């Protein structure tokens, strides 16, 4: 009882899914009935039933899962099967409730040999009954205890009992204490056999070894009055003609015993299945009850909770609206600042570029070669800053909706050819091949010529920028139905990492594949995306590191019946 809660299921199936059948329900019922009869005899009628209820309460207090809680009727069912851990808890509680440390010995002497076992043993001698000890033992402790007959002679038997490893795990550090309970009950039942079956004096038991003393098994020597020699022959000779008919009757009894035992096993298996069903039904009932309780708890005060959540959502929504308005104001301030700053920077940059051009042309006098190199570098950086300022201004205007669109009917092949021709010098300067795939000369799009040109130039310039010398940039167009044309710019460059594909159209984004010396501020693709969306189109990219990239966008088309002039 020092162990606390039970560690193993008391009945049903174990952790490996095997049916629990360590101890027969006959053994458990014997304990319960003896406790009830003892208390009725000592304390008066009704006391026994109250004590059995107390026993059930104590047992259930040691079972954590209510699914396995027991009742008095359940414990009195002889067809049930239990774990040995449960049986030892019950045995110790019975000793405690009865106030008798020898409860197990007394109970086993009176209750372990049921009337059926007594009737079956009548035709056999006491020696023969002890020879059948392992057979009968397995009926009450199937595969949990090991029984052996060491020797049987008329008037003497040496019997042995060992605990299996599976049961030893259940006992754990309390093995010796549990062995005392099992040993006392077993040897008392064995000693009572001559008295209970043949009305003789009980056998005398001497302990040869005991698990409680640290031995590997319990071994007992039983001795009794040997006058029963030839007992079976005398019984049968009164009915038949001697030993031959006696053996025939013994065989008949054996056959009946086997048939009865087979029926016993069938019933026991059926009750094992019933136990499993009971456990499962209890578990489902517990789950349904818990679910119903949860639903009831949810319903209590639900309207108040909904009202509270609604008010909270309204507050959050107001906060979000305020935050959103503030973000819009900040975005407007940012756009205004970028626009003003870019505009203010453009004039000085134009002035700087003009002075540098004058110096390079010698208007202010002759200059040295080193001065020429320095001025050329200044001019190059001035041009780069001017382009950056222009991009910032364009993006600011687009986002602010200040860039008007003037859609007209444009022959798409003509526009593509113009843009490609204008960028051929840039491609050749880097050692690249800039080509166009065969174009459908009948494709007409509805777009702003300048803005569509800017989109295409940004995409081609981006492809040239990130393609190594010797690579190829290809411009394609196709009619895909649905009133849109698809334009693609593909390159054989460094490609884009998968986790960066979704960021390439963000302002100021530069991928990890970009070399530090690669020019650009990361605005060209953002501008292209904004202009495409202003036209009602979409833009996307397909790319993989080391395999190049393909940028594709859509633009509305105009159906025509004849080629443009």
DSSP one-letter code for 416: H
What does the angle CA 149 – CA 150 – CA 155 come to, to the nearest 5 degrees? Answer: 85
Pairing relationship of beta strands 549-556 and 484-491 according to DSSP bridges = antiparallel
What pLDDT was estimated at residue 261? 58
If 0-12 CB within 10 Å is exposed, 13-18 middle and 19+ buried, where does residue 263 land? exposed
DSSP one-letter code for 101: T
Distance CA 402, CA 328 (A): 16
Residue 484 phi/psi, 5° resolution? -135, 150
Q: What CATH number was assigned to the domain covering residues 324-399?
A: 1.10.287.130
* Residue range(s) of every CATH 1.10.287.130 domain in the chain: 324-399
**CATH number among 3.30.1380, 3.30.410, 3.90.25, 3.40.1000, domain 113-229:** 3.30.1380
Instruction: Calculate the CA 41 to chain-centre distance.
Output: 57
Q: Which helix (H) or strand (E) holds 556?
A: strand 549-556
Which residue in the block uniquely carries the two structure tokens 């334009």? 487
Distance CA 61, CA 495 (A): 69
Three-class SS state of 145 = strand
Cβ atoms 14, 20 nearer than 8 A: yes
Rg (CA), the chain: 50
Distance CA 19, CA 80 (A): 11
Cβ atoms 545, 513 nearer than 8 A: yes
* Residue 116, both tokens: 């059926």
CB neighbourhood size of 525 (10 A):
22
Q: Buried b / exposed e across 421-438, counting CB within 10 Å, b at 16+?
A: eebeeebeeeebebebee
What pLDDT was estimated at residue 235? 46
Nearest to 150 by CA among 198, 219, 201, 240: 219
Distance CA 516, CA 14 (A): 67
Alpha helices by DSSP H, listed for 146-300, are: 165-171, 175-191, 193-198, 231-237, 243-299
DSSP one-letter code for 509: -
If 0-12 CB within 10 Å is exposed, 13-18 middle and 19+ buried, where does residue 110 land? middle
Per-residue pLDDT of the chain (565 residues; tens, 9 = 90+): 678 899 999 998 888 888 888 898 889 999 999 999 999 999 999 999 999 999 999 999 999 998 899 999 999 988 888 999 999 999 999 999 999 999 999 999 998 887 777 877 788 889 998 998 888 777 777 778 999 999 999 999 999 999 999 899 999 999 999 999 999 999 999 999 999 999 999 999 999 999 999 999 999 999 998 754 444 444 444 444 444 554 555 555 556 556 555 655 665 566 556 666 776 776 677 677 677 667 666 776 777 778 888 888 888 888 888 888 887 766 666 666 565 655 566 667 777 878 788 888 888 888 888 888 888 888 877 777 776 677 666 666 666 666 788 899 989 899 999 999 999 999 999 999 999 988 777 788 999 999 999 999 999 999 999 899 999 999 999 887 778 899 999 999 988 888 888 888 888 777 666 655 556 567 888 889 989 998 999 999 999 888 899 999 999 987 544 344 4
* Residue range(s) of every CATH 3.30.1380 domain in the chain: 113-229
Three-class SS state of 219 = strand
List, edge to edge, every strand of the sheet that includes 218-223: 145-153, 156-163, 218-223, 204-209
Distance CA 33, CA 158 (A): 30
Instruction: Tell me the torsion sign for CA atoms 8, 21, 33, 160.
Output: negative
Distance CA 493, CA 354 (A): 36
Distance CA 519, CA 8 (A): 73
Cβ atoms 144, 186 nearer than 8 A: no
What pLDDT was estimated at residue 564? 43
CATH topology of domain 408-556: Heat Shock Protein 90 (3.30.565)
Q: Buried b / exposed e across 13-51, counting CB within 10 Å, b at 16+?
A: eeeeeebbbbbbbbbbbbbbbbbbebbbeeeeeeebeeb
Q: Which helix (H) or strand (E) holds 103?
A: helix 103-111
Pairing relationship of beta strands 433-436 and 472-479 according to DSSP bridges = parallel
pTM over 0.85, yes/no: no
Q: Which helix (H) or strand (E) holds 157?
A: strand 156-163
* Residue range(s) of every CATH 3.30.565.10 domain in the chain: 408-556
Cβ atoms 41, 100 nearer than 8 A: no
Which residue in the block uniquely carries the two structure tokens 């006392």? 184
Cβ atoms 528, 458 nearer than 8 A: yes
Residues making up the chain, counted from first to last = 565
The strand ranges marked E within 377-521 are 408-411, 433-436, 444-447, 472-479, 484-491
Nearest to 212 by CA among 178, 172, 169: 178
The strand ranges marked E within 38-87 are 81-82
């Amino acid at each position: 009882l020092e162990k606390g809660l039970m560690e193993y299921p008391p009945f049903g199936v174990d952790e490996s899914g095997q049916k629990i059948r360590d101890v027969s329900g006959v053994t458990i019922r014997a304990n319960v009935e003896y406790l009830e009869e003892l208390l009725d005899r000592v304390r008066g009628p009704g006391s026994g039933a109250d004590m059995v209820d107390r026993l059930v309460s104590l047992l259930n207090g040691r079972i954590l899962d209510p699914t396995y809680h027991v009742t008095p009727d359940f414990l009195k069912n002889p067809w049930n099967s239990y774990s040995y851990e449960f049986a030892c808890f019950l045995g110790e509680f019975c000793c405690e409730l009865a106030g008798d440390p020898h409860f197990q010995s007394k109970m086993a002497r009176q209750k372990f040999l049921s009337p059926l076992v007594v009737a079956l043993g009548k035709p056999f001698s006491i020696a023969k009954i002890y020879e059948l000890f392992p057979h009968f033992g397995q009926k009450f402790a199937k595969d949990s205890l090991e029984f052996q007959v060491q020797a049987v002679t008329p008037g003497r038997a040496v019997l042995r009992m060992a605990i299996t490893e599976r049961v030893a795990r259940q006992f754990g550090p309390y093995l010796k204490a549990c062995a005392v309970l099992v040993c006392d009950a077993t040897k008392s039942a064995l000693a009572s056999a001559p008295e209970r079956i043949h009305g003789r004096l009980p056998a005398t038991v001497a302990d040869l070894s005991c698990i409680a003393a640290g031995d590997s098994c319990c071994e007992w020597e039983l001795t009794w009055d040997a006058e029963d020699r030839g007992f079976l022959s005398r019984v049968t000779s009164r009915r038949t003609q001697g030993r031959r008919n006696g053996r025939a009757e013994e065989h008949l009894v054996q056959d009946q015993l086997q048939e009865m035992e087979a029926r016993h096993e069938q019933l026991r298996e059926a009750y094992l299945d019933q136990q499993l069903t009971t456990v499962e039904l209890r578990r489902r009932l517990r789950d349904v009850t818990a679910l119903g309780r949860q639903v009831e708890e949810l319903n209590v005060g639900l309207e108040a909770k909904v009202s509270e959540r609604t008010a909270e959502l309204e507050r959050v929504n107001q906060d979000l609206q305020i935050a959103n308005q503030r973000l819009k104001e900040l975005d407007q301030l940012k756009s205004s600042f970028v626009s003003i700053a870019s505009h203010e920077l453009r004039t000085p940059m134009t002035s700087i570029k003009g002075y540098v051009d004058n110096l390079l042309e010698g208007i202010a006098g002759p200059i040295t070669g080193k001065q020429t190199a320095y001025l050329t570098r200044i001019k190059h950086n001035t041009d780069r800053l001017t382009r950056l300022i222009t991009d910032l201004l364009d993006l600011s205007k687009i986002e602010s909706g200040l860039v008007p669109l003037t859609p007209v009917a444009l022959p798409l092949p003509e526009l593509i050819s113009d843009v490609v021709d204008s960028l051929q010098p840039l491609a050749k300067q880097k050692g690249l091949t800039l080509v166009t795939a065969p174009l459908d000369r009948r494709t007409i799009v509805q777009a702003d010529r300048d803005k569509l040109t800017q989109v295409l130039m940004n995409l081609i310039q981006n492809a040239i920028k990130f393609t190594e010398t010797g690579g190829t940039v290809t411009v394609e167009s196709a009619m895909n139905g649905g009133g849109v044309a698809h334009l693609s710019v593909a390159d054989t460059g460094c490609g884009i990492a998968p986790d960066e594909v979704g960021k390439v159209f963000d302002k100021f984004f530069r991928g990890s594949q970009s070399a530090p010396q690669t020019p650009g501020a990361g605005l060209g693709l953002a501008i292209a995306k904004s202009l495409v969306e202003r036209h009602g189109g979409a833009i996307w990219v397909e790319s993989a590191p080391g395999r190049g990239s393909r940028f594709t966008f859509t633009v509305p088309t105009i159906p025509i019946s004849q080629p443009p002039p």
